[in-house]
């Protein structure tokens, strides 16, 4: 790899003069030191996930991966509303020896490190290292397993291949990114800018996207799950986006910390006019801001892929010594703040409580038994090593206005009655907006968001009351056994 010299002959922040072709993507041995560095960084910044356990989303993805490994199908048998890419990864993790979450975590580390390697070919090793830190630290990555982190790798490949005029490969990679997260839609305007609105590159890129998406859609069609996929990915997501808006000050603060190191160099400007890569990176960032505004919600993990375009934008300003100093200082601030965020959130992290409940369930059930966890606590399934009863590994689709119907609840309860779980864990009993009595699945107080303000669960309560008895409580989670 050849590097452009910075001002005064300094090479602390090299800018690659050339980018590799597609074959170089599989020649990682030639740059083993960088890959080792990125693996170490990716593991260190995501270690809270290994210590505390998976965050809410990651535990759901891992649980669905275990369901797929048992032979269930996504969307139809295992309900969630993300594109299918993440479930393929977690199914692989579930098939590997040992518990699913550690294997999933290792895959998260590998993918983040690989993203850093691809970024190095675009912006150089130091900036790529900063991007790995920014994309992997806790405020955004929450210990690993977020869909946007897995989408970032094919997104980086798509950007790199577009700069090398490999439009079909770029399109395939962009399609792969979308199969992990629709938050990568802002990548597409960047690729259009790189193509310069020329018909042939655009057509090749579109063809690549269609091929990648077809590799997912065709098997789902053959399995007969496209209607269920449409229901979750289109119907539910539309209602979900309109059901509650979120952009609190804490989230914005965390985002600022994550983006600070890569953005710190931008005010210093570049020594030349922006090239097409710079314009494409700016288009990506602008489209992401517009997309988040249109959604009306802001979660820290949405910005993980923005480490890629921000690193591109910071590439030329970092030729200035003062800009390099600003990035180093901002990186130190980011790491320190992330450390304190982890310390602050550790006492309320669901991982330890989920593990305690999961161990109890594992000790009091057989491997062939199923369980039902009511709430957002899929980590119980992972630790218990027991399959979920029914198709819903968490409760949100059952309490979302506009999606939940009496028929949906009736069908679900009928399925539970036909295949009753041995144990029911009321994880939401630990949340303050639920009534403090011993009735199973207490209704949320009127006007609260405990159940998305809708409650059609009387058939479930009647069935559970008739067939289950309260046996114990662990960290506020109430456990019921079948009578």
What are the tokens at 465? 């009351």
Same domain assignment for residues 423 and 285: no
352-371 per-position pLDDT tens digit: 999 999 999 999 999 999 99
User: Does the pLDDT of residue 7 top 50, yes or no?
Assistant: no
C-alpha separations of 461 from 233, 424, 442 in Å = 29, 12, 8
Report which secondary-structure segment, H or E, holds 329.
helix 321-345
Same domain assignment for residues 324 and 388: no
29-87 per-position pLDDT tens digit: 457 788 899 999 999 999 999 999 999 999 999 999 999 999 999 999 999 999 999 99
Same domain assignment for residues 358 and 343: no
* Residue 469 φ then ψ, to 5°: -130, 145
Contact 379, 350 (CB under 8 A): yes
Same domain assignment for residues 309 and 400: no
Distance CA 311, CA 309 (A): 5
Contact 4, 14 (CB under 8 A): yes
pLDDT of residue 118: 94
Same domain assignment for residues 322 and 363: no
Same domain assignment for residues 17 and 96: yes
Same domain assignment for residues 281 and 367: no
Say how many CA atoms lie within 13 Å of 324 toward its Cβ.
Answer: 14
300-329 per-position pLDDT tens digit: 888 899 999 999 988 888 878 888 888 888
Q: Which residues contact 273 (CB under 8 A, 6 or more apart)?
A: none
Residue with the bigger pLDDT between 186 and 1: it is 186
Same domain assignment for residues 340 and 386: no
Average pLDDT in the 426-449 region?
A: 60
Q: Among 326, 347, 368, where does a domain finish?
A: 347
The answer to pTM > 0.75 is: yes
Q: Among 347, 367, 382, where does a domain finish?
A: 347
Q: How confident is the model at residue 189 (pLDDT cuts 50, 70, 90)?
A: very high
Same domain assignment for residues 156 and 22: yes
How many domains would you assign to the chain?
2
Q: How confident is the model at residue 452 (pLDDT cuts 50, 70, 90)?
A: very low
Average pLDDT in the 209-234 region?
A: 95
Same domain assignment for residues 85 and 181: yes
Helices 199-223 and 167-178 meet at what angle, rounded to 10?
A: 40
Q: Among 317, 347, 377, where does a domain finish?
A: 347
pLDDT of residue 34: 86
Domain that holds residue 454: 350-482
Contact 101, 382 (CB under 8 A): yes
User: Does the pLDDT of residue 15 top 50, yes or no?
Assistant: no
pLDDT of residue 438: 53
Same domain assignment for residues 341 and 382: no
Same domain assignment for residues 105 and 235: yes
């Amino acid at each position: 790899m050849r590097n452009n010299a910075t001002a005064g002959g300094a090479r602390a922040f090299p800018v690659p003069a050339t980018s590799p072709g597609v074959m170089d993507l599989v020649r990682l041995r030639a740059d083993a030191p960088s890959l080792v560095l990125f693996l170490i960084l990716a593991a260190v910044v995501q270690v809270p996930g290994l210590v505390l356990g998976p965050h809410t989303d990651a535990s759901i993805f891992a649980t669905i991966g275990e369901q797929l490994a048992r032979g269930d199908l996504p969307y139809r048998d295992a309900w969630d509303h993300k594109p299918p890419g993440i479930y393929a990864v977690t199914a692989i993790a579930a098939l590997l020896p040992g518990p699913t979450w550690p294997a999933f975590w290792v895959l998260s580390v590998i993918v983040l490190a690989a993203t850093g390697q691809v970024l190095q070919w675009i912006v150089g090793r130091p900036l790529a290292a900063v991007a790995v830190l920014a994309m992997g630290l806790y405020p955004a990555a929450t210990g690993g397993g977020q869909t946007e982190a897995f989408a970032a790798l094919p997104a980086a490949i798509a950007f790199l291949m577009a700069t090398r005029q490999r439009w079909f490969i770029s399109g395939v990679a962009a399609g792969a990114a979308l199969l992990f997260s629709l938050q990568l839609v802002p990548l597409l305007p960047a690729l259009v800018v790189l193509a310069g609105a020329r018909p042939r590159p655009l057509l090749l890129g579109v063809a690549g996207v269609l091929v990648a998406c077809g590799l997912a859609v065709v098997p789902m069609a053959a399995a007969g799950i496209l209607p269920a996929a449409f229901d979750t990915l289109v119907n539910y997501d539309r209602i979900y986006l309109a059901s509650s808006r979120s952009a609190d000050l804490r989230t914005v603060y965390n985002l600022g910390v994550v983006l600070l190191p890569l953005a710190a160099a931008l005010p210093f400007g570049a020594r030349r006019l922006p090239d097409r890569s710079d314009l494409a990176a700016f288009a990506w960032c602008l489209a992401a801001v517009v997309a988040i505004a249109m959604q009306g919600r802001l979660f820290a993990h949405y910005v993980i892929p923005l480490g890629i375009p921000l690193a591109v934008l910071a590439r030329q300003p970092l030729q200035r010594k003062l800009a390099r100093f600003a990035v180093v200082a901002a990186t130190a601030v980011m790491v320190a703040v992330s450390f304190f965020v982890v310390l602050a959130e550790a006492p309320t992290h669901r991982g330890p409580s989920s593990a305690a409940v999961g161990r109890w369930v594992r000790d009091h059930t057989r491997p062939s038994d199923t369980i039902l966890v009511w709430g957002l606590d899929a980590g119980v399934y992972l630790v218990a090593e027991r399959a979920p009863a029914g198709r819903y590994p968490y409760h949100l689709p059952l309490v979302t206005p506009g999606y939940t119907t009496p028929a949906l609840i009736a069908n679900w309860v009928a399925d539970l009655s036909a295949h009753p779980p041995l144990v029911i864990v009321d994880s939401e009993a630990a949340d303050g907006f639920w009534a403090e009595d011993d009735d199973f699945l207490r209704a949320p107080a009127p006007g609260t968001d405990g159940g998305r303000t809708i409650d059609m669960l009387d058939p479930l309560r009647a069935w559970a009351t008739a067939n289950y008895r309260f046996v114990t409580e662990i960290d506020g989670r109430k456990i019921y056994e079948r009578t």
